[in-house]
Amino acid sequence: MHNHRTTITQFIIEEQRHIPGATGDFTSLLNDVVTACKVISNLVNHGALVGVLGAAGSENVQGEDQKKMDVISNEVFLKSNEWAGHLAAMASEEMEEVYQIPSQYPRGKYLMTFDPLDGSSNIDVNVSVGTIFSILRCKGNCVNPSAEDFLQRGTEQVCAGYALYGPSTMMVLTTGRGVNGFTLDQNIGEFVLTHPNMTIPADTREFAINASNMRFWEAPVKRYVDECLAGKEGARGSDFNMRWIASMVAEVHRILTRGGVFMYPLDSKMKAKGVEGKLRLMYEANPMGFIVEQAGGAAITGQHRILDIQPSSLHQRVPVILGSKNEVELIAKYHQEMK
């Protein structure tokens, strides 16, 4: 007897039946996103064989050096999603301005933000990278939307997801009804539901932070990490493990799989430069915050819930602390106590 497996297309169609007012546009939009991620996955898999590794020789709006694959993935995402008539506009980490849908194509009712290649500093060393996206409804001007039309709270997201290009390629999605994970079956070219209803354990003994910034951390983060490092003999009474992949997608995926805490907190070095965090609200913190909350975890800046932030600009940065609920709540408590 053949064992039926749920493809991502079947899953999305079934999911759409629960979205009020959905007409089929959403299913079709997600199909295009899935196609884009399959194309990026294929390029990432082939790496040096197809000449996509190395630097592009340019900088993005945040002044970061772009890799060839940052630029290519951005292009793939735009081209896969601009033509079908589901989107009013897109915004990306790799583009300063809102991307308007070319005039020959119809406009749709959704907006999409994305980080085409997250963790791209890892691409040349063959460590996992990913793509992050967030879908919003277009509520204002849906002909030529401006940055203001994108500045909606994370709680307004219709859907968020990421593709992880690791030992296997996976797609993890939420539409606000839990989190589901799909694995790309290269033989049939389809993502298949392999991780239904992903949940983050409330407790963990594993944390992730770039410890090279330790001397710049604020007191609550320093206290939390010090207590983890003190292990069995310290205030927490147990030993902790540490990880840092430098690919947010891979860190969040680990946390969805076995729990943990991920932190890219505000620090004094950022403050001196007048920046409010490392990670970007609209296409990193909000989609990941939505996914993590939907899996039973929590996502905060230290002071506030990420999804409640009223965005002020497209490329706004925020501190990010997310993962296992009880640990994130403890870190929030330290921020309250040490204000």
Judged by CB under 6 A, does residue 119 bind ligand AHG? yes
Judged by CB under 5 A, does residue 118 bind Mn ion? yes
Residue nearest to ligand AHG (CB): 248
Tell me the CA distances in angstroms from 59 to 62, 98, 131, one per residue in order: 8, 17, 19
DSSP 8-class letter at 217: B
Q: CB under 8 Å to 73, separation ≥6 — which residues?
A: 40, 43, 116, 117, 131
Question: Checking DSSP bridges between strand 241-243 and strand 320-323, what pairing results, if any?
Answer: unpaired
Q: CB under 8 Å to 308, separation ≥6 — which residues?
A: 153, 154, 155
Q: Which stretch binds ligand AHG (CB under 6 A): 97-105, 180-188, 228-236, 240-248?
A: 240-248
Task: Quote helix, strand, coil % in the chain, to nearest 5.
Answer: 40, 25, 35
Nearest CB to Mn ion, comparing residues 282 and 309: 282
CB of 209 to ligand AHG, least distance (A): 9
Q: What is the DSSP string of 143-157?
A: SS--HHHH---GGG-
CB of 292 to ligand AHG, least distance (A): 14
> Per CB under 5 A, which of residues 226..285 are in contact with Mn ion?
none
CB of 21 to ligand AHG, least distance (A): 33
Secondary structure (3-state) at 209: strand
Q: Which of 41, 66, 113, 247 binds ligand AHG (CB under 6 A)?
A: 247
Q: In 3D, which of 319, 318, 12 has the Cα closest to residue 135?
A: 12
Q: How many residues bind Mn ion (CB under 5 A)?
A: 4
Q: Which stretch binds Mn ion (CB under 5 A): 118-126, 252-260, 306-314, 328-336?
A: 118-126
Phi, psi at 205, each rounded to 5°: -125, 35
Q: Which of 115, 190, 206, 327 binds Mn ion (CB under 5 A)?
A: 115
Give the type of residue at 213: N
> Per CB under 6 A, which of residues 9..68 are in contact with ligand AHG?
64
Nearest CB to ligand AHG, comparing residues 48 and 211: 211
Judged by CB under 6 A, does residue 210 bind ligand AHG? yes
Nearest CB to ligand AHG, comparing residues 149 and 327: 327
Judged by CB under 6 A, does residue 248 bind ligand AHG? yes
DSSP 8-class letter at 201: -
Give the type of residue at 294: Q
Residue 164 near residue 152, CB atoms below 8 Å: no
Q: Which of 15, 32, 115, 190 binds ligand AHG (CB under 6 A)?
A: 115
Contacts with ligand AHG by CB under 6 A lie at: 64, 93, 115, 118-121, 210, 246-248, 264, 278
Residues that bind Mn ion in the complex, under the rule CB under 5 A: 93, 115, 117-118
